[in-house]
Chains A and B, each alone.
Chain A
Amino acid sequence: MSDDIGLWGVPLAILGGAIRVSTPFIFVSIGECLTERSGRINLGLEGTLVFGAMSGYAVAYHTGSPWLGTLAAAFAGLLFGLLHGWICRLPRVNDIAIGIALMIFGTGLAFFFGKPYVQPVAPDLPAIPLGFWSSLPQVQAALNVNVLFLAGIVLAFATAWMLKNTRVGLTIRVAGDSADAARALGIDVNRVRLWSTAAGGALAGVGGAYLSLYYPGSWNEGISSGQGLMAVALVIFARWNPVNCLYASLLFGGAGALGPALQSVGVTSGYYLFYAAPYVLTLGLLVATSSRSRAMPSAPGELSIVK
């Protein structure tokens, strides 16, 4: 059988790319979704993602276990989330501005401590060869699925179920929709938001660990290309629904894979414009789904960006 599958390589590469590229989006967007459902926005997840990538890589390198690295990244993300949540509970502090500061701070700390880890090679997270049935190497490559991708799918449905059906989920939603109602129910709004932000940070850390430990699979200062920030926009597009976050992440992953996929079949002109595709897509979706006159449907009522 010929290995040359011609232009079929493009959709296949996009599918494979969507699976590979979308995983960090899935984790960050579900984390941000959780935070925003509690009524706060954390723009600092970009910094958390980069710091997660660095700390995950460093711990995996020292311990030899990529899973310990992922755990460390989640813990680091948790700390960043706690910092954001703790600062935001003070009066007159703007959660968006704090997010920007934490973006700079997290990125700076990651570059600061990450310098010695640019050269060494850490073990990768394992992948499951779901393309074993095909003899085509392109199909096998596209369906070589990382464990974290599958975990992300489970996480999306579990988070949606948790928000809808459990006491914790109801508490988060009440805190996000009306702080007054939450207080009337005896809920400590700040505490709910603190832990929702912390959980969101932990998930963003895992997303970062995926970047450095699987795809692209190394640590360097250009590891993130704004995934943490795009995920925030993606949550708006996904209408604060974790399952929609999953679908939106796949769409973004596919857009991100467009450039490399076309390059692989020899289309090189306008390469840099294809590189901009995910950002253009994000912006286009934001424009299409925002509205000037009415509050966005299903947006948490306490969210500063939709008020």
Chain B
Amino acid sequence: MKPQDWNEGLNHLDQDLVEEYIELKDKKRKPKRPFWMATVAAALVVTIGLGMLAGNGILPSNPPSLETLPATEPSTPTTAAPTQPVVTNPATIAPTRPVVTNPATIAPTQPVVTNPATFAPTQPVVTNPPTTPPQEPVIVPLNNLVYEPVYPQMMKYPSAKDYNTNSVGFYKAVEVWKQDRRNQYLQPDGYADSLTDYFQKSTQQFLQGDGNQVYSPLNVYMAMAMVAETADGNSRQQILDLFGLETIEQLREQVNNLWNAHYCDDGVTSTLLANSLWLDDSYSYNQETAQLLANRYYASTFNGDLGTDAMNQQLRSWLNENTGGMLTEQANNISLPKNTVFSLASSVYFTASWDSKFGEKNTKDALFHAADADRKVPFMNKKLMNYTYFWGENFGAVELALTGNNSMWLILPDEGYTVADVLASDEYLQMTLNSEAWENQKKLDINLSVPKFDVVEQQDLVSGLKAMGVTDVFDSSTADFDIVTDETPVWVDEINHAARVVIDEDGCKGAAFTVIVYAGMAPPPDVDEIDFVLDRPFAFIVSSQDNLPLFAGVVNEP
């Protein structure tokens, strides 16, 4: 048998075998996230349910269904004989928006209690309740997708390989990339000023309670902005008021700015935002509203029988894909009620690595003094030389740099104060939003000790939003969603927000753990070296390059 004959035979291999091979090949190829990455994801689902389902006969008997929205590339077949395309080598940069489907690789940290007796703690040392085994993320084909937005493109960080020995060419390409990033990030001065109030109010509202708390101010903003787009009259106005804006046009401008200031997909850092609109096929909808959400919010549109298992699975799948599988369990908790008229979902996925890693060897178990008991948990340690230490009325803080000019703030209340005390004032917010101008800062050597944590929270935002003055959308008698559909009364039934922040380490020397004590409005510390030990409940904020809070949370039980 000659090789040619073999090849001829193999040419006739069944196609499904090749397909299986391709699938297996791709599955194995998925990159693993480096161990030391900080990984953050949030997802938020707003479901809008309808009232008086059967009672008033409002339901159309033979409802028209939403027509498929026009695709972005309407391609009309030509009648002429097909021309032979000229195949050239198109640009080698072929950016794709990565759909993140691999579940978070960072295992949740689980404190281990070893021989608690030797520490003679004053309080009992407890372990956290065992976490349930990680659930497989639901990933199903999104068959009911009727419109998919074209995401804006971002220039990729150039690959040195493409330039081989041409280092000048490479550095020029890096410069072009940098300029591209700068241009994108160039927002009007002070555009975020109106947001401060919202950040302050919402942080106080959504970070209450005993356990770990976390939410994404940006994610909630995006989702509520979409709700405002679908609402009218006072329903809309209350949301604008919450955001400190007067008109919907201002909100659109703001959303545009925020998107630009955050969306990042350049191959180095990822901050991926995604939105989607879920429509029930028993109703007809105002096409303009759907189109507007698609254009301005990059919302994918789905159309089907909401409330069925199949649609719930697709919604979960969409959430999993857009949060990197970090919120699998929370996504599984999402199921739309049968009477859902439409639903909005919004997600943020963020991953960046520490500019300077923590050394794994320096991670040591130590006691964390939670409100109810002491816990023995792994602490990451690092000496920060000549580093800026910030402080305020009742807290101290450091800002750790992440790639892409993002950062994580660690805010520790002074002894005798609680996290709630710190969050009650907007001092910490002023500090994080404008750290350069913050008066209370000093360069010191800081012995940082921070527990590894994996904080996750799922909460219903309805009562919090009501407390902040957004009430009409939740009440069937006042909610005004006529601009989406006027076939039936519609109100917002549930706003389900889930967020998770995980930090991990790698690098550095062990440092002594000592508790830093500052009381009252401290004078600048008159030492050159301090220990900054986050061994009691503390707050954190993940800030974007624009200093805006992407995530905010409280660690009560690491």
**Do chains A and B stick together as partners?**
no
